[in-house]
Structure 1
């Protein structure tokens, strides 16, 4: 019997990105989860719930925040690499983003796609960088770390036998629901403006429009309840 292992790594990230007017949108100096725009603290990221690297090199992702949701929702007008952003409501809320990733993030997601491993969501920002827990067979995990380019700063924080976490929001989804969610994200169903409709997803997956709508509502309800409640 092959043992499933896990590793938790810290990956150093870029500190600054540029806005459309050339001004930096910086991470917090004392708390890297903070998003500052024009000298004001807009929001603080609680966790990264999901990321998916698309074929065109862009990323769609879901992150949990607290702060000014309406201000963060305008970030696509501020930052060149943000294609779209939409947010939910409440004290702690989700941001759905479609964006052009930096070199480090691209390298991470490409490396994960090449090995037989999975991410134990969520990812979290720390003062040292992005904390990511990965699980799979030991050989695949070793190949993953060895395959990072030299310019990517990766630090091993801990390792051991993998025990599934109960707080993973996607862990409550069935395999079919995960397939539909991935298809919806890849097709641009959650982009603003929407690049795909429920009818498009139904045609792609060979299901009725009503079935797709029912699946998406159940998926969204499960994920939001696991995060907010």
Structure 2
């Protein structure tokens, strides 16, 4: 199974009206789709995380004829959550249908960018990923930002280290290698495993790279 990070480009006509509103309103900083549930009655229900002022966001929801119902949480640290149920448009249905195939899974969140694009991650067989990209409705196209084995995205960064890497990192942490200022050197860490400083440094470098990649993936 593969994962693919996609960026979907929308024409102005194919862009969701709430995304266009968020792009243009100075009181809304960012928004992302955290959860969704497609109900079999021609409506969609979404949970958004929005950074900004909830008042213009609420006013926009109330003004849209497609809004069935909604609720907002209180603002916390400059952000609020919005659960909204709305009537699906033909464009919405085409977008959803493109990814509703085989064993393909969309991994939240879906991020709405200030330039009008959206970023999402999907996981599944390569053929289904390619099929979703090819079958996006008119007005949308996707570019692939990165691909890789899905196991690289699963679990904590520590779970991705080899046993040897984990043992050497644990020793380095315990002995103060990552303290500021450092209380030991790579040679000190290496001595505890009867290996050369170069080998210890290589284990630490690979472990650090794994942790950094995980942090960037989550960001």
TM-score by length of 1: 0.55
Indicate how the Cα distance of structure 1 residues 73 and 55 shifts in structure 2: closer, same or farther if over 3 A, else same.
same
Within 1, Cα distance between the matches of 2:118 and 2:142? Answer: 10
Match of 1:164 in 2: 153
Aligned-residue Cα RMSD (Å) equals 2.9
Note the residue ranges of structure 2 that are not aligned, 5 or more in a row. 157-219
Question: Per-residue deviation at 1:55?
Answer: 1.4
Match of 1:121 in 2: 108
Within 1, Cα distance between the matches of 2:137 and 2:2? Answer: 23
Within 1, Cα distance between the matches of 2:10 and 2:129? Answer: 21
Residue pairs, 1:36-55, within 5 angstroms: 36=25, 41-55=26-40
1:27 aligns with 2:16: no
Paired residue secondary structure (2:136)? coil
Q: Aligned pair count?
A: 150
Within 2, Cα distance between the matches of 1:10 and 1:76? Answer: 26
Indicate how the Cα distance of structure 1 residues 14 and 104 shifts in structure 2: closer, same or farther if over 3 A, else same.
farther
Paired residue secondary structure (2:108)? coil
Q: Alpha-carbon deviations, 1:121-149, whole Å to 9, x = none?
A: 10111225111110011222222223334
Structure with the largest fraction of helix: 2
Indicate how the Cα distance of structure 1 residues 82 and 61 shifts in structure 2: closer, same or farther if over 3 A, else same.
same
Note the residue ranges of structure 1 that are not aligned, 5 or more in a row. 18-23, 168-229
- Among 79, 82, 105, the residue aligned to 1:92: 79
